[in-house]
């Protein structure tokens, strides 16, 4: 079976930057299934902007590895979803193409940076989507919009064709309305690619099981502490109770390095962003520079005019952190803190099979509510640690506070994505029964 899928969504929430009116599909495991793709993943012949004016007219000549796999299995790529510019944000408000609105409440943010993918799912526009997660960018919007999102183990899904923000942290991952569909999509995209030197040959081929008898669930108090809305914490503790009713046991664990996580994350990710975004200079990528001006003036003018404020802020922070005299003071210390966090998770996961906690400290906030960068950065406190440790983490809906979705986060050992998926599936099946 092969054909075209007519895709003309009623996109009231501004989930898409580009849509494919007649999306082609072929035979395969996902034959005819509409899949939305975050706009920082390369798609041959389909505009890919990273939600930035600097790439507004860019059409890649090649597919990312995950897109090759989707096409091979017959999926219909129906469009490119809105996002925070270059993945830098937690609200999808930094997009050059306007903010995405949360289908649960159009006055609220959908989360970010994969907010368009989550909103498209929550609005019923597509059954499956791809996002990317550098510090929570799949799990945050999944939690805020009430859908499911998996950040795979670092190195399990190829990053070939992903327009890089922070190479050592980011992963492409599946999003859907159910855990079963997330697992189904993961089975397609998690196949070895020699073009990505950070990838290991650990394909994912798993059908979720709800049998979690004997599962040890670690509950770190750091995930329920200062800054976490007590109602969100209570809702997530109730979800942990459901796992206990299904035969799991809970054990207290500790991640003391959490207090360093945000600082380490923002030094590392901005440093890598500073390096990665240097290519957008009006020569290699971006609008053409005025050759009558000096290179320095032309370069500065192009980036000032076409990068948004948040991207410029992070590039400057990263450039400073890597500069002579400061790299040892900031970047080297951040790498040390990262190692401490990784060791904390390894220690905790010797006593537990999965670690459970809230995905986000609050429910979705209002559009325009958080205007200072620090308050937005603090929103990543519960998601960024998994990226620093390189472990798998999933967010599954677990209830509502003030009518807005709450996300239940489950994390596991490296390359034990299947166990994390099973725990989320068991919970989902029980509450939907």
Assess whether 241 and 268 both reside in one domain.
Answer: no
**Residue 336 domain flag:** no
Final residue belonging to a domain, choices 291, 316, 331 = 331
Assess whether 163 and 230 both reside in one domain.
Answer: yes
Please say if 183 is a catalytic residue.
Answer: no
Residues whose CB is less than 8 angstroms from the CB of residue 48 and which lie 6 or more positions away in sequence, other chains included = 39, 40, 41, 42, 55, 58, 59, 60, 80, 163
Which member of 38, 151, 191, 370 is catalytic? 38
What is the reported pLDDT for 123? Answer: 98
What is the reported pLDDT for 371? Answer: 86
Assess whether 184 and 211 both reside in one domain.
Answer: yes
Q: Can you give the CATH number for the domain in which 68 is found?
A: 3.90.1300.10
Which member of 42, 52, 117, 137 is catalytic? 137
Mean pLDDT of 283-303: 80
**Residue 348 domain flag:** no
Going edge to edge, which strands form the sheet with 16-19?
16-19, 76-81, 34-38, 128-133, 171-176, 148-151, 393-401, 404-412, 354-358, 216-220, 249-253
**Mean pLDDT of all residues belonging to the chain:** 96
Residues whose CB is less than 8 angstroms from the CB of residue 259 and which lie 6 or more positions away in sequence, other chains included = 222
Segment 114-157, tens digit of pLDDT = 999 999 999 999 999 999 999 999 999 999 999 999 999 999 99
**Residue 343 domain flag:** no
What is the distance between the alpha carbons of residues 243 and 259, in angstroms, rounded to a whole number?
Answer: 28
Query: Residue 286 sits in which domain range?
Result: 260-331
Residue 76: exposed, middle, or buried by beta-carbon count in 10 A (0-12, 13-18, 19+)?
Answer: buried
Final residue belonging to a domain, choices 297, 331, 365 = 331
Query: H or E stretch including 186?
Result: helix 179-189
Query: Is the bond into 352 cis (omega within 30 degrees of 0)?
Result: no
Tokens of 92: 């999808």
Per the CB < 8 A criterion, the answer to whether 162 and 170 are in contact is yes
Tokens of 84: 């925070």
Residue 404: phi and psi, rounded to 5, are -110, 145
Segment 396-422, tens digit of pLDDT = 999 999 999 999 999 999 999 999 999
| Whether pTM exceeds 0.85 | yes
Which member of 52, 90, 95, 113 is catalytic? 113
Of 212, 241, 250, 234, which is closest to residue 355 (Cα–Cα)? 250
Assess whether 137 and 184 both reside in one domain.
Answer: yes
Assess whether 281 and 243 both reside in one domain.
Answer: no
Tokens of 270: 């901005």
**Residue 247 domain flag:** yes
What is the reported pLDDT for 179? Answer: 98
**Residue 394 domain flag:** yes
Segment 38-51, tens digit of pLDDT = 999 999 999 999 99
Mean pLDDT of 367-383: 94
Please say if 72 is a catalytic residue.
Answer: no
What is the distance between the alpha carbons of residues 173 and 190, in angstroms, rounded to a whole number?
Answer: 9
What is the reported pLDDT for 300? Answer: 86
What is the reported pLDDT for 193? Answer: 98
The whole-angstrom distance between residue 425's C-alpha and the CA centroid of its chain comes to 20
Please say if 80 is a catalytic residue.
Answer: no
C-alpha distances (whole Å) from 391 to each of 182, 188, 240, 372 are 17, 20, 20, 30
Segment 385-401, tens digit of pLDDT = 999 999 999 999 999 99
Residue 289 has pLDDT above 90, yes or no: no
Per the CB < 8 A criterion, the answer to whether 53 and 141 are in contact is no
Assess whether 225 and 115 both reside in one domain.
Answer: yes
**Residue 351 domain flag:** no
Total number of domains in the chain: 2
Confidence of residue 23 (pLDDT cuts 50, 70, 90): very high
What is the reported pLDDT for 433? Answer: 74
**Residue 24 domain flag:** yes
Per the CB < 8 A criterion, the answer to whether 147 and 175 are in contact is yes
**Residue 56 domain flag:** yes
Per the CB < 8 A criterion, the answer to whether 261 and 381 are in contact is yes
Confidence of residue 381 (pLDDT cuts 50, 70, 90): very high
Beta-strand relationship, 34-38 and 128-133: parallel
What is the reported pLDDT for 164? Answer: 93
Assess whether 231 and 366 both reside in one domain.
Answer: yes
Segment 173-225, tens digit of pLDDT = 999 999 999 999 999 999 999 999 999 999 999 999 999 999 999 999 999 99
Per the CB < 8 A criterion, the answer to whether 388 and 261 are in contact is yes
Assess whether 245 and 193 both reside in one domain.
Answer: yes
Q: Which residue has the higher pLDDT, 328 or 234?
A: 234
Task: Quickly tell me which residue has 């109770």 as its tokens.
Answer: 241
What is the reported pLDDT for 287? Answer: 81
Assess whether 53 and 103 both reside in one domain.
Answer: yes
Assess whether 300 and 181 both reside in one domain.
Answer: no
Assess whether 305 and 395 both reside in one domain.
Answer: no
Query: Hey, is 247 helix, strand or coil?
Result: coil
Per the CB < 8 A criterion, the answer to whether 128 and 376 are in contact is no
Assess whether 148 and 101 both reside in one domain.
Answer: yes
Of 121, 99, 104, 212, which is closest to residue 174 (Cα–Cα)? 121
Per the CB < 8 A criterion, the answer to whether 325 and 94 are in contact is no
Per the CB < 8 A criterion, the answer to whether 144 and 360 are in contact is yes
As a dihedral over the C-alpha atoms of residue 337, residue 378, residue 113, residue 432, rounded to 10 degrees, the angle is: 100
What is the reported pLDDT for 12? Answer: 97
* DSSP conformation letters of 217-235: EEEEGGGGSTTS-HHHHHH
In total, the chain counts a number of residues equal to: 433
* DSSP conformation letters of 67-98: HHHHHHTT-EEEEEE--SGGG--SSS-S-TT-
């Amino acid at each position: 079976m092969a054909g075209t899928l007519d895709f003309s969504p009623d996109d009231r929430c501004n989930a898409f930057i580009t849509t494919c009116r007649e999306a082609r599909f072929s035979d395969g495991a996902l034959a005819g299934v509409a899949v939305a793709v975050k706009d920082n993943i390369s798609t041959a012949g389909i505009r890919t902007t990273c939600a930035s004016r600097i790439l507004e007219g860019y059409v890649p000549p090649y597919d990312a590895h995950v897109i090759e796999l989707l096409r091979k299995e017959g999926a219909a790529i129906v469009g490119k979803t809105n996002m925070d510019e270059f993945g830098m944000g937690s609200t999808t408000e930094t997009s050059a193409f306007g903010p995405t609105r949360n289908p649960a409440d159009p006055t609220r943010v959908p989360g970010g940076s994969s907010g368009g993918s989550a909103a498209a799912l929550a609005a019923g526009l597509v059954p499956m989507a791809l996002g990317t997660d550098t510090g929570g960018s799949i799990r945050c919007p999944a939690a805020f919009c009430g859908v499911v999102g998996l950040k795979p183990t670092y190195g399990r899904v190829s990053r070939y064709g992903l327009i890089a923000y922070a190479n050592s942290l980011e992963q492409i991952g599946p999003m859907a309305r159910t855990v079963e569909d997330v697992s189904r999509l993961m089975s397609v995209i998690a196949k070895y690619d020699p073009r990505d030197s950070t990838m290991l040959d650990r394909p994912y081929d798993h059908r979720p099981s709800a049998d979690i008898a004997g599962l040890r669930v670690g509950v770190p108090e750091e995930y329920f502490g200062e800054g976490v809305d007590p109602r969100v914490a209570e809702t997530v503790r109730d979800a942990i109770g459901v796992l206990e009713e299904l035969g799991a046991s809970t054990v207290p664990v500790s991640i003391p390095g959490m207090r360093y996580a945000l600082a380490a994350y923002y030094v590392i990710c901005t440093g890598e962003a500073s390096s990665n975004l240097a290519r957008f200079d009006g020569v290699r990528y971006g609008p053409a520079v005025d050759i009558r001006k000096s290179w320095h003036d032309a370069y500065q003018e192009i980036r000032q005019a076409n990068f948004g404020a948040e991207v410029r802020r992070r590039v400057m922070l990263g450039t400073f952190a890597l500069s002579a005299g400061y790299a040892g003071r900031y970047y080297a210390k951040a790498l040390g803190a990262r190692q401490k966090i990784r060791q904390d998770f390894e220690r905790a996961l010797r006593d537990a099979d999965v670690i459970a906690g809230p995905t986000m400290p609050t429910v979705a906030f209002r559009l325009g509510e958080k205007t200072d960068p620090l308050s937005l950065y603090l929103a990543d406190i519960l998601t960024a640690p998994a990226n620093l440790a390189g472990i798998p983490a999933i967010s599954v809906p677990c209830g509502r506070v003030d009518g807005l979705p709450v996300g239940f986060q489950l994390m596991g050992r490296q390359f034990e994505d299947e166990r994390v998926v099973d725990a989320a599936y068991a919970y989902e099946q029980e509450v939907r029964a």
